[in-house]
Amino acid sequence: MKQIILKDFVIGSGAPFVLIAGPCVIEDEKITRDTAIFLKEIAGDIGIPLIFKASYDKANRTSINSYRGPGMTKGLEILKEIKEELRIPVLSDVHRFEEIEKASQVLDVIQVPAFLCRQTDFIIEIARSARIINIKKGQFLAPWDVSNILAKVSSTGNENFMITERGTSFGYNNLVSDFRALPIMRDMGYPVIFDATHSVQLPGGSGNVSGGQREMVPYLSRAAVAVGIDGLFLEVHPDPECALCDGANSLYLDTLPDLLGTLKEIDEIVKR
């Protein structure tokens, strides 16, 4: 399997799982920074490599009235300050060609949103600019379809990319996680991440916003780590009930220490 080296840790090929975590969207500088500080401390205490994530613009919201974030300029500024002050790698998703160049100058990992994972020209342009890419597998794709996405990226010569499983559409306003997908995609030779919080999302399930089943996140997280993954993606928030985006499937910060401790133990057993 391809190993990706980021800062002082390795992603993939049997290395301990990396944690990709943070709020769904940048709400303001204080919440984002405080969350990053908390995550760095807890990940450091437990001994889990961390990539901090937060979106500067959520362009794929359910309603036109939904909060999207501060935008690229302000958002990248905040992420750059967090990256430099806390010395942690940062990730955000990019939705438009016009953002790729500037995002590549700040982000350690550029994320391709699930709805854009089949946009050939967009993926190729990101692959040419980004050092590391995380591609969200579309809810509409079978795991074996991912090979076509990976071929598009590798055609540019960029081999530093990961694929993230985030559930598959199951009827209306519902997702289901098929854990067979994780080893199927890992056999393609690149690191696989499991997005436990978006996998419990109920897309558009609350009318003009998406719903979610936060209480199911620990169960899916434990199952995914037991199957064997290279990273875990979690959206977290100090007060999910008041979050401006994806609060229904985001975890409370104070639930992380116990959950991550358990996940590290499982990961060590699986990869022993």
What are the tens digits of pLDDT across the range 174-214?
999 999 999 999 999 999 999 999 999 998 766 666 788 99
| Over residues 37-54, mean pLDDT | 98
pTM: 0.96
Token pair, residue 118, equals: 């089949």
Q: Is the pLDDT of residue 242 over 70?
A: yes
Q: pLDDT at position 205, please? A: 67
Q: pLDDT at position 224, please? A: 98
Q: Which of 90, 4, 11 is nearest to 49 (CA)?
A: 11
Instruction: Tell me the pLDDT of the chain averaged across its residues.
Output: 95
| Over residues 219-226, mean pLDDT | 98
* pLDDT band at 63; cut points 50, 70, 90: confident
The Cα 233–Cα 195 span in angstroms is 4
Could you give the percent of the chain with pLDDT greater than 90?
91
Taking the CA atoms of residue 123, residue 189, residue 236 and residue 91 in that order, the dihedral angle to the nearest 10 degrees is: -40
Q: Is the pLDDT of residue 99 over 80?
A: yes
- Please state, as a whole number, how many other Cβ atoms lie within 10 Å of the Cβ of residue 174: 15
Q: pLDDT at position 211, please? A: 81
Q: pLDDT at position 206, please? A: 65
CATH classification of the domain holding 80 = 3.20.20.70
Token pair, residue 154, equals: 């590798």
Q: pLDDT at position 203, please? A: 86
Count structural domains, the chain. Answer: 1
The Cα 225–Cα 66 span in angstroms is 33
- The range of the structural domain enclosing residue 78 comes to 4-270
* pLDDT band at 34; cut points 50, 70, 90: very high
How is 105-170 classified by DSSP, letter by letter?
HH-SEEEE-GGGTT-HHHHHHHHHH-SSEEEEPPTT--GGGHHHHHHHHHTTT---EEEEE--EE-
Could you give the percent of the chain with pLDDT greater than 70?
98
Which one has a higher pLDDT value, 217 or 245? 217
